[in-house]
Amino acid sequence: MASFTKSLFLFLFIQFCFSILPSSFAQSPTPGSSDGYTIYGRVKIPSFGTKEFSLPAKVSNVKVILNGGQRVSFLRPDGYFSFHNVPAGTHLIEVAAKGYFFSPVRVDVSARNPGKIQAALTENRRGLSEFVLEPLKEEQYYEIREPFSIMSIVKSPMGLMMGFMLIVVFLMPKLMENMDPEEMKRAQEEMRNQGVPSLASLLPGAARSN
Amino acid sequence: MVGQKNLKADKDDLILVFGKGCLHAISGIDGEVLWRKDFASESIEVSHIIQSPEVIYVAGFVGSSKFYVYEVNAKSGELLKNNHVALPFATSGESLSVSGDKFVVLDDVRSKIVTIDINNGNINYNQKQVSDLIKDSSGQAVILPSKLPGLFALKINSQVLLIKVTNEGELVALDQIDNTAAFSNALSISEDQHVFAFVQYEDNKIQLSVKDVNDWNGALLKENLVIDHQRGNIEKIFINNYVRTDRSHGFRALMVMEDHSLLLVQQGEIVWSREDGLASVVDVTTSELPVEKEGVSVAKVEQNLFEWLKGHVLKLKGTLMIASAEEKIAIQKLRLRSSEKSKMTRDHNGFRKLLIVLTRAGKVFALHTGDGRIVWSTTLHALRKSEDCEHPVGLNIYQWQVPHHHALDENPSLLVIGRCGPSVTAPTVISFLDAYTGKELNSLSLAHTVARVIPLPYTDSTEQRLHLIIDVNKHAYLYPRTPEAIEILKREFSNIYWYSVETDNGVIRGHALKSNCIHEIVDEYCFVFRDLWSIVFPSESEKIIATVTRKSNEVVHTQAKVMTDHDVMYKYISKNILFVANAAPKASGEIGTATPEEATLVIYIIDTVTGRILHRMTHHGCQGPVHAVFSENWVVYHYFNLRAHRHEMSVIEVYDQSRADNKDIWKFVLGKHNLTSPISSYYRPEISAKSQSYFFTHSVKAIEVTSTAKGITSKQLLIGTIGDQVLALDKRFLDPRRTLNPSQAEKEEGIIPLTDSLPIISQSYITHSLKVEGLRGIVTVPAKLESTSLVFAYGVDLFFTQIAPSRTYDSLTEDFSYALLLLTIVALVAALFVTYVLSERKDLEEKWR
């Protein structure tokens, strides 16, 4: 459990920071305790309004996870979170919020230089000047069903088949009509000479007997 | 950690928080830490904090007999005084605060009650023999942790003694209550009235009583109620009051039962109940539903005739739109019950199954996959809390008997393994359950311990599966204990191999059966085993953090894999293959504790029959936690790369090289190929491994792979992410043959261009916008339909779905429009007639011409 081992000074300092900056991060070694740094940050979820499939983001459902589940923190209503007693080193912070894709954040807590934290998004290696985590993108969990349209039926295999059939039924006789009657006669003659091509004649055995 | 707060929620009040040996005073106004006082150096086990406006007393034991009281200034946190008293005997158990400054505690032989009184920092103590208060004090006395003002409850055997502590520190026995189950804390219902509740067992009923702390004789409430004995004993009780219309006080009681279910009791009735035991699922198996019987028995119809009529009347009302809201709900329920999805019979596609889950409390639930309802639930008799079995826990559940050939008329049964306590050496119980009814068929208290259970690939004539249970003393026991099972085992004696992993020593051993046990009592079901091989990892550089093997019931469709250039690769498919991940000891902790220089991750693939290391790989600058899944000839594992500071996933595919030269056609012609040679685990085929790594964004809680009936369908990885969602990722993304610029032929085969990270497509979350809170495990079961796999994810929430990794190619989709099909057919027929008529007419015209 997170314990309250930070000093009054620290609290005041943080309050001060928050009051002058819209958001900020700060950390400080805790006097008395050997390995206590505190990571402060803020999660900002832009309210995209009520999109069709995105559920309204509830701040209380957002989890901030340190080092793959070592510690879990929740957000205050204004989006701030903190981890106390974090040892110096390189840590990983992940934000789990339904409907949003957050990049994990690499957090370097410096031991030599107290008061120094460096944060960078691991997905795009972008450094953060202030510890404000914003979603990289919104997540759509559902595929949008194609609305019913006459085009989708026409484009479907069955629709194409029907279209082809219609073409054959109605357009082919028209094409025949447009042909020159003499040429037609010649073609028919030729066909008669060759004999009616049948399935049997296509088979190799039958062809030989011809 | 002790939290203490003033009852009056005044704004100026201090909130005192004690944690990690340090007392913090926090302002009630803005949450500022006003002062802190470190007690860590005093080695005191702080158990009580008494707050008064001026001074704060911090009391507790140092060791087991020295009682210390520290006096701290409430304003500044300055230590004013410290005082201690050494008791002439050791104490046992927790001390209980009876009133503001009085504590009671038992001595180490539990024969004396010690009352400690701190008055302005001065410590006085009295002691009294338990035998002075109760005649029969032979049992172990325990102070119950209920907080009652001026009172405490002492439990001896099944009796509870209520003892009043007077202002002078005298102990007076108030009452003796038999067969008590649980006591609640005191509840203040008015300025000076404190009440508490307790429950007593009476034959097969339980009695709930609410009494005033000060007025012992009158009971405010006395209710009898019947609770299903499946729920076990009452563990805890909480009360809360409400004011009735006649201004008297009514009480509700919330009971926590032994099977972790919750009951709310009001006016002698259970208002609602919740099966909260389902939040702690420890193991899952599935069972087929009964085969649908032809015809319905007459008795069943007669019994349900009235129900049937009622249902139809309801439905009629529904269609006539005269049903009330309640009736509408009933109609919905009826529809759901009669719907195809929730039937209690086997379906053609194998979608309907029973999910049998074992909870930590030792209760077994059967959940229907159609609608998630509880079909039956059983608290195992052997896993009930008792004198010999104080902390029973459920461990594993196995399919014991799956009748499908010889014994179709028998119900399938399950094997449940439980243990009395957390240690491996605790006594073990096994139990056999009927999978359709949940009836306990048999239960055994084992004389031996259970370290591991190995389901063998053999069944007897009644289709009972043979199981070997390995105990901690290196014995293997065969179950079922029948002569037939022994016969089967004797036949396969030399074919049984298994391995054991000793994480602490960094050793993996292979074992085989040797001979019967040599005991005083001859037990022909007991065997000793020998070590075949052992792999010792260097303890200074490697520590075992994960081992994964293939699922024994996995089906592989084909061993051959055709490459793009019409080359054939043969998958190395062996059931006896083990994946081991070792981390450097310095980096075996959590992320953030090690630097990239000192972290390495070493991966082994080991044959468990011969102990041969098939493949070894090192990931520098990487560390655990490792989650892995092994399927067919590949393993996919997830770990953390410290250099890039990102999670990574790697795949290793193992191919059999000894069969690779079979592609020469002349060898086939001359009969020189070795394809017909038997595959044996004793051979040492030449193998080759291919591997590739990718970045993956999220931390992972569990990885599974889909399993289908015949293994033809392509596979998807199911990844339980840190955000408690389940992501389905095509295995194609984890293919070592991916290259930056795949050739046209490779593209046609479906090889995806190589990217440095695995894509997370939000539509492929199979949980969609739901969350499986506290996700712990994912289980996949094949459906009968080849394209479909059933997925069950459990954590605090339970989630079930069916997925088709290559879409449902063998059945029409749910949204297939039958209407459109019919419409097309009708249109075609109509067109046929129309064209027929038209052509007839045209023919006629031609003839007239």
| CATH classification of the domain holding A128 | 2.60.40
Q: Which of B649, B652, B783, B800 is nearest to B729 (CA)?
A: B649
Q: How remote is the C-alpha of B833 from its chain's centroid?
A: 65
- For the stretch B514-529, pLDDT in tens is 888 877 677 788 888 8
- Residue whose pair of structure tokens reads 């069709």 in the numeric block: A52
State how far the alpha carbon of B276 is from the alpha carbons of B273, B369, B580, in Å: 9, 19, 36
| Residue B727: pLDDT band with limits 50, 70, 90 | very high
> CA A86, CA B139: separation in Å to the nearest integer?
48
pLDDT at B812 over 90: no
Inform me whether the C-beta atom of residue A167 falls under 8 Å from chain B C-beta atoms.
no
The C-alpha atoms of residue A84 and residue B22 are separated, in whole angstroms, by 15
Please, are residues B777 and B703 in contact by the beta-carbon 8 Å criterion? no
Tokens standing for residue B649: 């996933």
Instruction: Tell the residue number behind the tokens 């129309």, with chain if given.
Output: B834
Q: Which amino acid is at B807?
A: R
Q: Which tokens sit at B290?
A: 């009964």
Q: Judge if the upstream peptide bond of residue B678 is cis by omega within 30 degrees of 0.
A: no
Region B449-457: mean pLDDT is 88
| DSSP three-state, residue B390 | coil
User: How far does A207 lie from chain B, in Å, by closest CA?
Assistant: 34
Q: Which residues of A touch B32 (CB under 8 A)?
A: 8, 11-12
Top-confidence residue, A192 or A41: A41
- Identify the pLDDT of residue B845: 92
- Among partner residues B590, B724, B763, which is closest to A143 by beta-carbon distance? B763
Reported as a single tens digit per residue, the pLDDT across B55-107 is 888 888 887 778 888 888 888 878 888 888 888 777 777 778 887 778 888 88
Average pLDDT for residues B707-716, to the nearest whole number?
89
A residues 171-210 closer than 8 Å to B (CB): none
Q: How far is CA B440 from CA B395, B520, B579, B606, in A?
A: 17, 32, 37, 40
Chain B touched by A79 (CB under 8 Å): no
pLDDT digit string, tens, across residues A102-122: 888 888 888 777 767 888 888
In this predicted structure, the answer to whether residue A8 has a pLDDT above a threshold of 60 is no
Residues of B in contact with A12 (CB under 8 A): 32
Q: What is the mean pLDDT of chain B?
A: 83
Both A34 and A133 in one domain: the answer is yes
pLDDT at residue number A128: 81
Could you tell me if A161 and A115 lie in one domain? no
What value does the mean pLDDT take over residues B547-560? 86
Residues of B in contact with A68 (CB under 8 A): 590-591, 625, 640, 647, 699, 722
Residues A133 and A168 in one domain: no
Query: How many pairs of residues across A and B have Cβ atoms under 8 Å apart?
Result: 118
How many domains in chain A? 2
**Structural domain contains residue A53:** yes
Per CB-CB distance under 8 Å, the chain A contacts of B835 are 169
pLDDT recorded at residue B636: 94
The rounded distance, in Å, linking the Cα atoms of B722 and B517 is 47
Residues B736 and B691: their CA atoms lie apart, in Å, by 5
Q: Min CA distance, B595 vs chain A (Å)?
A: 8
Question: B285 CA to chain A: closest CA distance, Å?
Answer: 27
Task: For chain B, say whether A71 makes contact (Cβ under 8 Å).
Answer: no
Cα gap A81→A93, rounded to integer Å: 11
Q: What is the DSSP string of B12-59?
A: T-EEEEEETTEEEEEETTT--EEEEEE-GGGT-EEEEEEE-SSEEEEE
Q: Which of B446, B518, B435 is nearest to B479 (CA)?
A: B446
Mark whether A167 and A132 lie in a shared domain.
Answer: no
Closest residue on chain B to A8 (Cα): B33
Tell me whether residue A108 is in a domain: yes
Which carries the bigger pLDDT value, residue B480 or residue B517?
A: B480
> Do both A195 and A159 map to the same domain?
yes
From the list A4, A91, A141, the residue facing B17 with the nearest CB is A4
Reported confidence tier of residue B762, pLDDT bands at 50, 70, 90: confident
Tokens of B424: 């491996």
A3 in a domain, yes or no?
no
> Residue B84: which of B103, B97, B98, B65 has the closest Cα?
B65
Give the pLDDT score at A160: 87
Cα Rg for chain B, rounded, in angstroms?
Answer: 34
Domain that holds residue A67: 24-138
**How many Å apart are CA A20 and CA A14, to the nearest integer?**
10
pLDDT band at B283 (very low <50, low <70, confident <90, very high): very high
Q: Give the pLDDT of residue A33.
A: 44
- What does the pLDDT look like over B393-417, one tens digit per residue? 888 899 888 877 655 677 888 999 8
Point out the domain boundary residue: A114, A138, A162: A138
Helix (H), strand (E) counts: chain B: 6, 55
Q: Identify which has the larger pLDDT, B678 or B619.
A: B619
Taking an 8 Å cut-off on Cβ atoms, the answer to whether B701 and A69 are in contact is yes
Burial class (CB in 10 A: 0-12, 13-18, 19+), A170: exposed
A101, B760 in Cβ contact below 8 A?
Answer: yes
- What does each C-alpha distance from B225 to B208, B231, B295, B340 come to in angstroms? 8, 14, 41, 38
Residue A198, in any domain of the structure? yes
Does the structure show a pLDDT above 80 at B743?
A: yes
Whether residue A182 lies inside any domain: the answer is yes
Mean pLDDT score of chain A: 71
Q: How far is A21 from chain B (nearest CA, A)?
A: 20
A152 to chain B, any CB pair closer than 8 A? The answer is no
Specify the pLDDT at position A52: 43
Q: Do A6 and B33 touch (CB under 8 A)?
A: yes
Q: Which of A55, A92, A169 is the closest to B645 by Cβ?
A: A92
Last residue of a domain, one of A138, A163, A188: A138
**Nearest-angstrom CA–CA distance, B331 and B319:** 10
For B625, the closest of A11, A68, A97 (CB atoms) is: A68
**Is residue A7 predicted with pLDDT exceeding 70?**
no
Residue A89: which residues within 8 A CB-CB, separation 6 or more?
A: A108, A109, A111, B592, B593, B595
How many CB atoms within 10 Å of residue B3? 10
Burial of B348 by CB count in 10 Å (0-12 exposed, 13-18 middle, 19+ buried)? exposed
Residues 128-147 of A with CB under 8 A from B: 139-143
The CA distance from B700 to B721, in Å, is: 4
As given in the structure block, the two tokens for residue B213 are 């702390």
User: Which residues, in sequence order, are CB contacts of B451 under 8 Å at separation 6+?
Assistant: B424, B470, B471, B472
Number of other residues whose CB lies within 10 A of the CB of residue B726? 26
How close is the nearest chain B Cα to the Cα of A89, in Å? 6
Set of chain A residues whose Cβ sits within 8 Å of the Cβ of B20:
3, 5
My answer on whether A62 and A105 are in the same domain is yes
Place of tokens 């009669």: B338
Residue B247 has what pLDDT?
A: 81
Average pLDDT over residues B438-467: 86
CB-CB neighbors (< 8 A) of B762 in chain A: 101, 139-141
- Asked if B281 and B773 touch (Cβ cutoff 8 Å), the reply is no
How far is residue A185's CA from residue A64's CA, in Å, rounded to a whole number? 85
Specify whether A120 is located in the same domain as A186.
no
B778 neighbors B716 (Cβ within 8 angstroms): no
Q: Reduced to 3 states, what is the DSSP secondary structure of residue B386?
A: coil
Question: In the predicted model, what is the mean pLDDT of residues B199-224?
Answer: 81
> Do residue A177 and residue A133 come from a single domain?
no
Q: Which of B17, B592, B762 sits opposite A91 (nearest CB)?
A: B592
Burial (CB < 10 A; 0-12, 13-18, 19+), residue B618, is exposed
* Among B718, B685, B691, residue whose Cα is nearest residue B559: B685
Position B31 scores a pLDDT of 75
State whether A129 and A169 are in the same domain: no
B286: helix, strand or coil: strand
Please indicate whether residue B641 or residue B522 has the higher confidence score (pLDDT).
B641
Q: Are residues A129 and A160 in the same domain?
A: no
Query: What ipTM was assigned to the predicted interfaces of this complex?
Result: 0.76
**A17 in a structural domain:** no
Nearest CB to B32 within list A8, A65, A139: A8
A150 touches chain B (CB under 8 A): no
Report if residue A178 sits inside a domain: yes
At A51 the pLDDT is: 45
Residue B585: half-sphere exposure toward Cβ, Cα within 13 Å: 10
CB contact under 8 A, B19 and A32: no
Q: Find the mean pLDDT for residues B10-35.
A: 77
Q: Which residue from A minimizes the CA distance to B723?
A: A96
Is A44 part of any domain?
Answer: yes
In this structure, the answer to whether residues A39 and A83 fall within a common structural domain is yes
Q: Which residue has the higher pLDDT, B538 or B347?
A: B538
Work out the pLDDT band at B303, boundaries 50, 70, 90: low
Per-residue pLDDT at B166 exceeds 60: yes
Last residue of a domain, one of A83, A113, A138: A138
d(CA B459, CA B398): 14
| Nearest residue, CB atoms, B723 vs list A90, A96, A153 | A96
Helix (H) or strand (E) holding B822: helix B818-848
Check pLDDT > 80 for residue B261: yes
- State which of A17-31, B315-329, B393-407, B453-467 shows the largest mean pLDDT: B453-467
Query: What's the mean pLDDT in B230-255?
Result: 86
Regarding whether A174 and A119 lie in a shared domain, the answer is no
pLDDT at residue A12 in the model: 39
What Cα–Cα distance (Å) separates residue B82 from each residue in A155, B53, B76?
89, 18, 16
B770 to chain A, closest Cα gap in Å: 8
Q: How confident is the model at residue B12 (pLDDT cuts 50, 70, 90)?
A: low
Best of A10, A60, A67 to disrupt the B interface by mutation (most B CBs within 10 Å)? A67
